[in-house]
């Protein structure tokens, strides 16, 4: 496994086909019911497209259609309908056998333009070393959550979500990094972006979460940063669905990426055991 990746994406003799072995290290969920983390599906697709085309990701969006449970293998087919001078339009179909798991559409490339600007502002937060770790959903074994070091700067997670009082602003703030020292990449940002639905319980003040329907990430730039700050906003909940977004900043306040998601609302009367 490459040091820059949290997942074991493998090439084949066909430069447009890759495959991803699914095990607990890239999965989440309750004991005995693990499934591939949606962010890993998007991240592996982004990585496959970047390696196939030799261009960086501008934006990518994933639609989640089914679950891939361990042990299984997801085939990742890269389709490139348009290659321009600076931009390539591509998509990925991730499937286990004939069963489609996710579809990803993306644009990749860079233009020779020296202009750079930023209007998004990183919120104030305690440094990560002074923030509590994110509580684990499944304490019985190791999964993807053990491989992402998440610290809670603002928000109600775990048992602290109970109480039934709605958040005033729907905002949660997390610090995140690879617990194994993997370098910051577009793939790692895509995995971190998939933590938007985890703020659902904070917003509601209840034991709640969501199953992602999609995951869209727009990458402004990549730069070295041990930690990234995730400014999450749950915008609203209605008709059984939750909608939210995340701004991802480097430690020095530079905006790295923005992300947005919709999910199927899940509410539990008691904390999952």
pLDDT tens for 239-258 read 999 999 999 999 999 999 99
What pLDDT score does 164 carry? 75
Q: Is residue 126 part of a domain?
A: no
**Which residues fall within 8 angstroms of residue 189, CB to CB, at 6 or more apart?**
217, 219, 222, 228, 248, 256, 257
How far, in Å, CA of 188 to CA of 44, rounded? 10
Establish if 85 belongs to a structural domain: yes
Q: What is the pLDDT of residue 114?
A: 83
124 part of a folded domain: no
Nearest Cα residue to 91 out of 81, 83, 99, 47? 81
- Cβ–Cβ under 8 Å, residues 74 and 96: yes
Q: Establish if 230 belongs to a structural domain.
A: yes
Cα atoms found within 13 Å of the Cα of residue 147, Cβ hemisphere only: 18
Mean pLDDT of 196-206: 95
Domain region containing 34: 10-110+132-267
**Per the domain annotation, does 118 fall within a domain?**
no
Q: Encoding tokens for residue 1?
A: 């496994």
**Structure confidence at residue 271 as a pLDDT band (50, 70, 90):** very low
Task: Give the domain CATH number at 46.
Answer: 2.40.160.210
Residue 116 lies in a domain: no
- Number of CB atoms found within 10 A of residue 135's CB: 15
Residue 4 covered by a domain: no
d(CA 222, CA 184): 8
Q: What is the pLDDT of residue 136?
A: 84
272 has pLDDT over 50 = no
Average pLDDT over residues 85-114: 96
Q: Coil, helix or strand for 100? A: strand
pLDDT value for 123: 98
Domain count across the chain = 1
CA distances (Å), origin 252, targets 63, 116, 117, 248: 32, 16, 15, 12
Mean pLDDT, the chain, as a whole number?
94
pTM of the model: 0.94
């Amino acid at each position: 496994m490459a040091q820059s990746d949290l997942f074991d994406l493998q090439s084949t003799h066909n430069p447009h086909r890759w495959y991803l072995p699914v095990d607990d290290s890239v999965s989440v969920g309750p004991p005995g019911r693990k499934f591939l983390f949606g962010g890993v599906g998007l991240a592996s697709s982004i990585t496959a497209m970047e390696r196939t085309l030799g261009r960086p990701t501008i934006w990518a969006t994933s639609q989640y259609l089914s679950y891939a449970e361990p042990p299984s293998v997801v085939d990742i087919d890269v389709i490139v309908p348009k290659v321009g001078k600076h931009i390539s339009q591509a998509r990925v179909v991730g499937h286990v056998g004939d069963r489609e798991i996710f579809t990803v559409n993306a644009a990749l490339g860079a233009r020779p333009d020296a202009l750079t600007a930023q209007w998004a502002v990183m919120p104030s937060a305690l440094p990560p070393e002074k923030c509590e770790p994110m509580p684990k959903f499944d304490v019985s074994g190791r999964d993807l959550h053990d491989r992402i070091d998440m610290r809670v700067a603002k928000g109600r997670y775990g048992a602290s979500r109970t109480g039934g009082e709605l958040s005033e602003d729907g905002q949660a703030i997390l610090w995140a990094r690879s617990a194994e020292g993997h370098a910051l990449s577009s793939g790692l940002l895509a995995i971190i972006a998939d933590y938007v639905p985890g703020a659902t319980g904070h917003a509601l003040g209840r034991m709640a979460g969501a199953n992602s329907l999609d995951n869209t990430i727009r990458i402004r730039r990549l730069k070295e940063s041990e930690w990234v700050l995730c400014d999450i906003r749950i915008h609203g909940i209605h008709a059984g669905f939750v909608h939210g977004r995340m701004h991802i900043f480097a430690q020095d306040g530079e905006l790295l990426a923005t992300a947005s998601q919709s999910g199927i609302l899940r509410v539990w009367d008691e904390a999952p055991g």
